[in-house]
A and B are shown apart, each in its own frame.
Chain A
Amino acid sequence: MSTEQPSPTDSTTTSAGERLASLRQRFEVFEGDRLGQIGLAILALFIFIGIFARPYTIELFDFTFSTPGLAPYDPGERAVGDRLESPSAAHPLGTTDMGRDVLSQLIAGTRVTLIVGSLAAFMAVFIGTNVGLISAYFGGWVDDVLMRITDIVYGVPFLPFAIVLVAILGSSIVNIIAAIVLILWRSTARVIRAQVLSHKQRPYVESAQAIGAGHVRIMYRHILPNVLPLTFLYAAFAVAWAVIAEASLSFLGFGDPNMLSWGEMIYNVYTANAIREAWWWVFPPGICIMLFVMSVFFIGRTLEKEVNPELNHQ
């Protein structure tokens, strides 16, 4: 945190202007940080591709919407006679064993990654932050119960659990996200709890209590803004783990059959027994997964410097 800003740790109230300033400050950490900038650029590109993929309707729960398309073909469209073709002008990344355009599948898959990454991370961090906040703030038996639950979740192996849950509930994107969220909140909960414990002792909480502020107000108006940078950091990590988990699940054949993801593309290469020859079909989705996760980790690293300035080491 820079010195010209009023330190948020000691402020008891934050005006809208101050909040905007602190938001701008949050972006300033990217200045002079090459990795963070690269991360932001890659992520922005993927978000753009994801939004303008293809006139592709997404059905999530009850609503559907469609957008104009970047992808040259319908991802499911078969070009007859073009099976397993290496890249050409008509198909820049070649075709699959079913004669489908790899580039179009790749572009459509961006969306699944974005949806899974953002929704799962948001929910996991939301649950984790609340659990950590409540646990640390109230202490006593509340803390004991919540932390024992967290310990138990730490005992559950992530991927095997997700496999079993998806096998039970069925392979849909909602179930995949649910399986990921049920595990992923645990790390945020622990970290936020530790942070809140240290904030609970500080004078600003005491003075808020002295004025007569209620628990909810102290927790969410006074303490939460101070741990929010850490929440953002864990949100970035959560996006990365969620995307890796979804890709792994899809690779193992538990992906949503109605929404083609990058992991599922690689699963298809495997089941088509084409991995030895069809490099144009295997490598693009793998590289995309890697680039996407990498961009999030780069951004996370930059945020980490703000959250934990000692890491910055001159």
Chain B
Amino acid sequence: MAKPPGGASDSRLELEADAAATAVYDEVQDDRAGGSGGSAGPGGSGASGVSFSALRNRLRLPPTFRRPMAIIGMSIIVLWFLVAIFVPWIAPYDPLAQQFDRLQAPNAVNWFGTDSLGRDVLSRTLYGARISLPLALILVVASAIIGSVLGAVAGYFGRAVDEIIMRFSDLVFAFPTIILAMIVTAALGPSLTNAVIALLLVSWPSYARVMRSMVLGARSREYVVAGRLLGFSPFTSLRRDILPNVAAPVLVLATLDFGNAILLLSGLSFLGLGATPPTPEWGAMVADGVQQFSDWWLAAFPGLAIFTVVVAFNLVGDALRDSLDPRTAGAVQGVKI
């Protein structure tokens, strides 16, 4: 087999190989064994070419992320997570120290200017990543787990359990997310913990719905029925047979939701219901900036931080969805259907 003319058609090669017969099957097996050098397969240049491309394949990003938008999104996310981890070494000043002249425009000392109390906006924006990213992660993971479990239970057991859980999720869906979250935080008192609890309460139902519909489709499959006949308990069946087959869409939803979670958290802080001062939270910083319209840098930089993170997660989420959606998966894999 000839070396593919361009890198992008590597996957096509694989598909052709799959479609072809046994000799190629050997090569693939060989690949899976992990050995390319000294392989016992058919010798000659053809064999080493395939092995080389297989190695390249292994080192490269999965096809899902091998698209410009996804790469941009991933880079931004990785960058922000690095900032969140290493911010004490990156940030030029203490984000809480009121040590500079007030309301200075961006300059050589304070690249993003200073706020109304003389704090460095750059340091505060960078430290903001430490607040927003982990909380958004906790929020998304927790709501995905809660929503998925409830949705799976509802879909698997059906009847009354289904009705109760899904009507409850309809109830939550009936209210605009941010309004319901505002009510909950207003009742619990403003703090980031309460904001996360409030958003958790309003964000699980979308996972429950997706999970329920997937489980409804999967529960009557032969392998599930077979598992039950072997004596699996409902929860073993859900965990071992159903979950691996329905996890992908929930993963996509969670990725797409991450940006949304950051936006909602910032929104609550903006309204004074999330972070309490002087926490350098992006939403709260934008709220401060709104009080001083003419000093644009107060709101612009934390706003830009929110913007980049949210857009980055949406790009990655879109890429994931495209690759997992059967209608667009072909395009991602490089095969036109």
Q: Do A and B bind each other?
A: no
Chain A residues with CB under 8 Å of chain B are none
